[in-house]
Homo-oligomer: A and B are copies of this chain.
Amino acid sequence: MRVATTIFELRNSLGELLTPIGLVPTMGYLHEGHLSLVSAAMNDCASVVVSIFLNPTQFSPEEDLSTYPRNMERDLEKLDKIGVDLVWTPTPDDMYPTNYQTWVKVERLTQPLEGKYRPGHFSGVTTVVTKLFNAVRPHKAYFGQKDAQQVIVIRQMVKDLNMDVDIQTCPTVRDPDGLAMSSRNTYLNRGQRRAAPILFTALQAARVVYDGGERSAIKLRLLIHKIISSEPLANIQYISCADADTLEEIQDKINGRALLSLAVFFGSTRLIDNVLIGD
């Protein structure tokens, strides 16, 4: 496994790779969710590149950049073991040198949900993903359904900007009790960790009710709210039932695909999760 830091090293190493190339962009502290993306890439592509970059521009000043977990040594071991061809570990100075001033912005899809509560987040995401795509020039790139809005925003960007990358979405990987894997789960204390699976429990309950014929978005949101509110350690930021394409909140009946999504605090740890329902 090659490891490149500067973009110069990256481009040198890329020349030796067989095509098609699959890219798995990560912020490090890799868990089974990340590794499932790598496996999918290895199944589809002749070479797999993983980027590890804790992207500062997708964190707002009051967010958890400084405490975000990292363990580069363990990450590289995991990727080497699984058979990744090339890991790119740029530094913040490689990615955002002095006088950096260019941003890629997706307008409407970034307004609701995560965009509403994390202003500037998606501008950081779309900009860094553009940079990763331009540097690696992958044929396919792999993202987790866990960050549902992120995938939708990136697909829109790829289409709008004529990027020649095939975006693949992989299912959310969960712990046995249903908690979606996330690097941020490491922040949870024992009680919070025991409580956190309530998120998926609530989403699943809504899906069951939907499958039973319920089409009222309001009732599904209420049901999720009721279940999560029953957990004293959970502090709801938002619960959404939105059109899965436009991300506009559904006011009345669900027609077609809907995204049930939420952000909930356990102490100062903010967790997100989602399920897709409908056709």
Chain A contacts to B: CB under 8 angstroms:
7, 11, 99-109, 126-127, 130-131, 134-135, 137, 156-157, 160-164
**When the two chains form their complex, are residues A164 and B105 in contact, meaning their CB atoms are under 8 A apart?**
no
Query: How many copies of this chain are found per oligomer?
Result: 2
Instruction: Give the residue name and chain of the B residue nearest to A108 (CB).
Output: B101
Partner of A157, one of B99, B102, B160, B162: B102
Instruction: Give the residue name and chain of the B residue nearest to A131 (CB).
Output: B162
**When the two chains form their complex, are residues A104 and B134 in contact, meaning their CB atoms are under 8 A apart?**
no
- Identify which of A109, A130, A135, A156 gathers the most chain B CB atoms within 10 Å of its CB: A130
A-B contact pairs, 23 of them (CB 8 A): A7-B162, A11-B164, A99-B108, A99-B156, A101-B106, A101-B108, A101-B109, A101-B160, A102-B104, A102-B106, A102-B156, A103-B107, A104-B105, A104-B161, A105-B105, A130-B161, A131-B161, A134-B161, A134-B163, A134-B164, A135-B162, A135-B164, A137-B164
